[in-house]
Chains A and B, each alone.
Chain A
Amino acid sequence: MDTAPVFSVENLWKVFGPKADRVPADPELTALDPAELRSRTGCTAAVRDVSFDVRKGEVFVVMGLSGSGKSTLVRCLTRLIEPTAGTIAIDGEDVRAMDRSRLRELRRHRAAMVFQHFGLLPHRSVLDNVAYGLEIQGMGKAERRERAAEVVAKVGLEGMEHRRPGQLSGGQQQRVGLARALAADPEVLLFDEPFSALDPLIRRDMQEEVIRLHHEEGRTMVFITHDLQEALKLGDRIALMRDGRVVQLGTPEEIVGAPADDYVREFVRDVPREQVLTVRTAMRRPSADQDGSGPAVRPDATVSEAIEAVARAGAPARVVDKGRCVGVVDSDTLLGVVAGTEQLAPPGTRQPKEAV
């Protein structure tokens, strides 16, 4: 995982309001909470001092409730909203320093976005909507239609090429939005709450579709959502935002298993922990006599998988990594995880499970 980051964001600020520039520069103002800042300056800080890297090939989820600044954050990445302060780099290139044509080039070829409300052109057919990005780039009609037809097939909309967006269901419209973003073959896909407007069954279908696409192509994705389940399901890493700040950044397991503060703890309280946490987190060190007995589970198996193994064998399971027994889980520890009584050390203090 030591490849260079695709997006590298440091100390990013977006402040709306009069003379927004002064806010990030003034330490006195940056210390204020949102209500105070508003009454003192009339400004609203949508994104406050956010830093993160998006690694190549990962699904990076930004999650938060409405008003937490997540949608503003993703728009800052391609400067659909102009950031107030901080740096953004894509593959090491400074995005904020780009001139107009360079920025257009970024939007055309390197980062494509999928929107909550689809943003389709109602007067164009599905095929021409998908081909729109290519048309903007100046590609000829026959060529772009051919490319668009391929992508339409890829997202499962064959046979609907000549319909208008108004004749499609919400899920189908979002498939068109997804296809339009894919057509330009961008390096990164940005998703802004793409499935929030869809009903639950269709939402699950679309999530599977994204997982499938990610599996097949390994494209880097930045995914904005307010749905914790969705974040846990899709995210390799999750940045949890509140009032414009990132309050915790980590794997789903870290967020659920070791919440950074009470806000995050409250947030993840109802998550079925056994489906998110892995046995690596729950295991004890093996005692010397336990080498040979019990079923073997992988360290990245979920706790619920381990429960099944332990219940079937009626004995504690061994956690085996590359042929070596690295730990043991028994029914007590597993139950403790499910019940939430098992104290998991906060990140940093516990033994490493991954190079930090």
Chain B
Amino acid sequence: MATITASPPRVGLPAFLKHRAVHKLLLLAVAAAILVPLANARWASGSWPSALTLDFSQPLAKASDWIIDNRDSHPLFLYFFGHVSNIVVIAVRAVYLTLLAVGWAGVTAIGALVAWRVAGVKLALGTAVAFLACGLLGMWVPTMQTLALMVVAVIASVAVGAVLGLAAGLSDRMDRVLRPVLDTMQVLPAFAYLLPVVLVFGIGVPAAVLATVIYAAPPMARLTSLGLRGADQGVLEAVESLGSTARQRLLTARIPLARKELLLGLNQTIMMALSMAVIAAVIGAGGLGDRVYQALASVDVGAALAAGIPIVLLAVVLDRVTGAAGEKLGAEPEPHSGRGWLYALAGVVVVAVAGRLAGRLDWPDAWIVNIAEPVNRAVDWMTAHLYSGVPVIGGTADWAGHFTTWVLDPMRDGLQALPWWGLLLIVAALAWVIGTWRTALTAVLAMAAIGVLGVWKPSLDTLSQVLAAVAVTLVVGFAVGIAAARSDRLERALRPVLDVFQTMPQFVYLIPVVALFGVGRAPAVAAAIVYALPAVVRITTQGLRQVDPAALEAAGSLGATSWQQLRQVQLPLARPALLLAVNQGLVLVLAVVVIGGLVGGGALGYDVVFGLAQGDLATGLVAGGAIVCLGLMLDRVTQPTERRAKKGA
């Protein structure tokens, strides 16, 4: 019982000084008092000093020129990237042609069969309906293009992720190396991955597939490692006590015990791959994403919607089917499941052959329902009647305009008017109070790197959009989350909505906001809010609901009103979850605000799009780097002290 608590000397200090956060802030204030006058004397305050900026555009432009010049001659490209690129092209092409050769009837039947076997009749019907809807909307060929790219990317992602995950799961050293990298990759916006692959592979399918793999492999790797590490130690010991070899332990115990995490990893990888495969339209992925991209570029909401609906259907079906496969684990295996597969397979072959014989491989033109025109008519009507001048409430365009002039502009101007060192100090203070000196240091360095890259002003523009969007998201999200935590009925009603919203790729959120608000910064912010809201609501609800019921009961037994219970018990105990909601909100909002560059969001996102469109990779890469830094900074600022408590001694 010899526990010695080291108690710091606490004589004569005012009570508030004992608080750790105050210690940190005081320390920071002292450091600032010394450093700021120095910095001020040397470089002026205001915007980031140009003396501290490095010009990357020249060397980057040179590098990009060099790559373009040497792409067909340098051995690195001939013997490595060239082969990678060829393999990817051939693989995607092969899958695509196979899908077309099977025909729409065959593909629909195969999809329904797989869904039936792993997830039941209801989802099989849903899958069939989804595929048929893709055809009806006249999107069969783009859907197959996207699907082909996805199949190749998912297989590659799963392979890469599983190998990395195995390494991290079995070796502590690999885990220490990989975990921070994977954790960081998880928070970066999809847009940031596009330019580096374009630099190496040029615009086209190989670049799109590789960007997708880079984006989608980390969740597989993380969950594989998590599953292997989380295996029940008691079971592993029992397996060892029976005299198993290390190989037998891995194959018969550790991997099967991790199957839940493995399937969850597969699910997440598929969803992220779909999300990226759509965004990668910007770098030549083709398919559904490209249709949306083209339509948005000409503000053709109807056409964008016709391509967007298949994306949403594909996302929902893929998520439900893989999710159902995970839930089915552990249930008793059905008898005769082999025979079921056999019958179903026979049915599929019959359908495919019938489709072939009927000469109906392509979706018949006569069956296409053109929704673009009616949708555009509706949008035109909205533009005419709802955009502005609606009595009392104003119009959507008015709202967007007011939001821009009253919220976004002052925030941007305020941020840009702050002295650069002031902003660094604010970042440091926030990150240090919430987290550790390490997270604070990373955040400050990331912020400073933005200045060094020479994109201080556009980054602050993006930051202002992010902050505005996050503020709205958190206010609405916390309110809805608290309400849902207190009412079972509301939660039940919200659940399917949140499920659908959380599975949709970022890209499709741009379609409705363009219809409602036109183009500009406000629609980008609106899309970001809609995208991040479901996650914030869900995390808040879960956090509040997971508060120890005993604590709530105790408070209730003392006669606390439900408002007191919420304020004094639930919210304080759910603080980690609320902080996580803020963190996730920031990460998700940034991802979409950046994509908002496609619909007039300007700032960093626009630089990326501009760089891609004009072949000016230097500008794009610098903007991409700034996005990465911004993402890192926002994540670290909201990172609690210890993300994972260390286990054992």
Q: Residues of A at under 8 Å CB distance from B?
A: 35, 39, 78, 80, 103-109, 112-113, 115-123, 132-133, 135-137, 162-164, 166-167, 177, 180, 184
Q: Which of B234, B243, B252, B253 contacts A115 (CB 8 A)?
A: B234
Decide yes or no whether B257 CB sits under 8 A from chain A.
Answer: yes
Show 16 residue pairs from A and B whose CB-CB distance is below 8 angstroms, ordered by the A residue: A103-B243, A104-B243, A107-B243, A113-B241, A115-B234, A115-B237, A116-B234, A118-B234, A121-B239, A123-B257, A132-B239, A132-B252, A136-B248, A137-B243, A162-B332, A167-B332
B interface residues, tally (CB under 8 Å): 22
Q: Which residues of A contact B614 (CB under 8 A)?
A: none
CB closest residue in chain B, given A133: B242
Q: Which residues of B contact A163 (CB under 8 A)?
A: 332
CB closest residue in chain B, given A122: B330
Question: B243 contacts A119, CB within 8 Å?
Answer: no
Question: A35 contacts B2, CB within 8 Å?
Answer: yes
Q: Which of B235, B241, B332 contacts A78 (CB 8 A)?
A: B241
Decide yes or no whether B259 CB sits under 8 A from chain A.
Answer: yes
The answer for the CA separation of A137 and B242 in the assembled complex, in Å, is 9
Decide yes or no whether B366 CB sits under 8 A from chain A.
Answer: no
The answer for the CA separation of A42 and B431 in the assembled complex, in Å, is 36
The answer for the CA separation of A119 and B245 in the assembled complex, in Å, is 17
With A122-B257, A136-B248 as contacts: A80 and B243 at CB distance below 8 Å: no
With A104-B243, A121-B256, A123-B256 as contacts: A115 and B238 at CB distance below 8 Å: yes
Question: A136 contacts B330, CB within 8 Å?
Answer: no
Decide yes or no whether B240 CB sits under 8 A from chain A.
Answer: yes
Given contacts A121-B256, A136-B248, 16 further A-B contacts (CB under 8 A): A80-B240, A80-B241, A107-B242, A107-B243, A112-B241, A115-B241, A116-B234, A123-B256, A123-B259, A132-B239, A136-B243, A136-B252, A137-B243, A164-B330, A177-B238, A180-B242
Q: Which residues of A contact B259 (CB under 8 A)?
A: 123
Residues 319-337 (chain B) with a chain A CB within 8 angstroms: 329-330, 332
Question: B234 contacts A119, CB within 8 Å?
Answer: yes
Question: A120 contacts B235, CB within 8 Å?
Answer: yes
- Write the nearest CB–CB distance from A106 to chain B, whole angstroms: 7
Decide yes or no whether B244 CB sits under 8 A from chain A.
Answer: yes
Question: B234 contacts A117, CB within 8 Å?
Answer: yes
The answer for the CA separation of A90 and B170 in the assembled complex, in Å, is 33
The answer for the CA separation of A260 and B330 in the assembled complex, in Å, is 51
CB closest residue in chain B, given A81: B237
- Write the nearest CB–CB distance from A101 to chain B, whole angstroms: 9
The answer for the CA separation of A113 and B237 in the assembled complex, in Å, is 10
- Write the nearest CB–CB distance from B425 to chain A, whole angstroms: 42
A106, A123, A135 interface centre (most CB from chain B within 10 Å):
A123
Question: A80 contacts B237, CB within 8 Å?
Answer: yes
Ranked nearest first, the 9 interchain pairs of A and B with the lowest CB-CB distance are A119-B238, A107-B243, A108-B243, A104-B243, A133-B242, A113-B241, A117-B234, A119-B234, A136-B244
- Write the nearest CB–CB distance from A299 to chain B, whole angstroms: 40
Q: Which residues of A contact B240 (CB under 8 A)?
A: 80, 107
Question: A121 contacts B242, CB within 8 Å?
Answer: no
B241, B248, B332 interface centre (most CB from chain A within 10 Å):
B241
Question: B238 contacts A123, CB within 8 Å?
Answer: no
CB closest residue in chain B, given A119: B238
The answer for the CA separation of A166 and B331 in the assembled complex, in Å, is 9
The answer for the CA separation of A132 and B241 in the assembled complex, in Å, is 12
The answer for the CA separation of A164 and B234 in the assembled complex, in Å, is 17
